[in-house]
C-alpha cells in the first residue's frame, strides 16, 4: 500500500494526474479493487514532495495525532521566508524531512546546503519555532521515537 501511495503522491506532485481524478479512480466500484484502494485514496496528499514525506504522512495519519499544515511559508522578518515540510501552528513545531538527495549535489554543494539549512533553522528558532529533523531510518525503523519527539514538543 505504501508503494501505491508514494506513486500516487508523486503523480499528484508532478501534476501528472489531478487529485479528483485519482480519488475517483481509486473509489470506482466498477474496477477491481480491495480495501487498500480506499486506504490509499484516504491518504493521498498532493503536498508530499518526496517518498520520505509520504512515509511521514502515513505515520502521522496512522497515529491519529493533530494533522499538520504542509509546505507552508513562514515569514521570519527582514525579507526572510522559509518553507516548512510539516507545521503545527499551535505548539509552533516544524518537522523537516531530511532525505539524502538534499545533500547529493543536486541542490548545490553539500556543505553549502548544510550551512543554509542551519541558518534557516536558527531564523525559525528565533521566531519561537521548534524545528525537528528526521531521516528515513528513524521514520521507517523507529517511528515511535519520532512520535515521542513530536509529543515532547507539544504535538498531540
* Distance of alpha carbon 68 from alpha carbon 63, whole angstroms: 13
CA angle 19, 44, 83 (to 5 degrees): 90
In this predicted model, what pLDDT tens digit does every residue of 111-145 receive, in sequence order? 887 888 888 999 999 999 999 999 999 999 999 99
Q: What is the DSSP letter of 77?
A: S
In this predicted model, what pLDDT tens digit does every residue of 20-35 receive, in sequence order? 999 988 888 776 666 7
pLDDT at 28: 83
* Domain 69-152 CATH class label: alpha beta
pLDDT at 88: 98
pLDDT at 16: 94
Average pLDDT of the chain, as a whole number: 90
CB 57 within 8 A of CB 143: no
Give the domain ranges of the chain: 2-46, 69-152
User: Whose CA is closest to 46, among 74, 16, 73, 26?
Assistant: 16
pLDDT at 137: 95
Which position has the higher pLDDT, 117 or 105? Answer: 117
Q: What is the mean pLDDT of residues 3-15?
A: 91
Helices marked H in the chain: 2-13, 19-27, 35-43, 51-63, 110-126, 136-141, 143-152
User: Hey, is 84 helix, strand or coil?
Assistant: strand
* Region of residue 53 (left: phi > 0; alpha: psi -120 to 50; beta: else): alpha
CB 146 within 8 A of CB 59: yes
Q: What is the mean pLDDT of residues 3-27?
A: 91
User: Whose CA is closest to 24, among 7, 10, 41, 12?
Assistant: 41
Predicted TM-score of the model (pTM): 0.88
User: Whose CA is closest to 97, among 61, 145, 63, 146?
Assistant: 146
Amino acid at each position: 500500500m505504501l508503494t501505491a501511495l508514494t506513486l500516487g503522491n508523486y503523480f499528484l506532485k508532478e501534476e501528472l494526474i489531478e487529485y479528483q481524478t485519482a480519488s475517483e479512480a481509486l473509489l470506482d466500484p466498477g474496477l477491481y479493487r480491495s480495501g487498500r484502494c480506499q486506504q490509499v485514496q484516504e491518504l493521498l496528499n498532493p503536498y508530499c514532495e518526496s517518498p520520505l514525506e509520504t512515509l511521514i504522512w502515513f505515520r502521522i495519519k496512522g497515529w491519529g495525532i493533530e494533522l499538520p499544515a504542509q509546505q507552508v511559508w513562514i515569514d521570519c522578518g527582514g525579507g526572510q521566508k522559509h518553507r516548512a515540510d510539516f507545521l503545527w501552528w499551535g505548539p509552533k513545531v516544524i518537522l523537516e524531512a531530511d532525505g539524502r538527495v538534499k545533500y547529493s549535489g543536486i541542490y548545490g554543494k553539500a556543505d553549502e546546503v548544510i550551512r543554509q539549512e542551519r541558518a534557516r533553522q536558527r531564523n525559525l528558532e528565533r521566531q519561537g519555532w521548534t524545528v525537528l529533523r528526521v531521516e528515513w531510518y528513524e521514520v521507517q525503523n523507529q517511528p515511535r521515537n519520532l512520535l515521542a519527539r513530536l509529543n515532547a514538543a507539544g504535538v498531540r
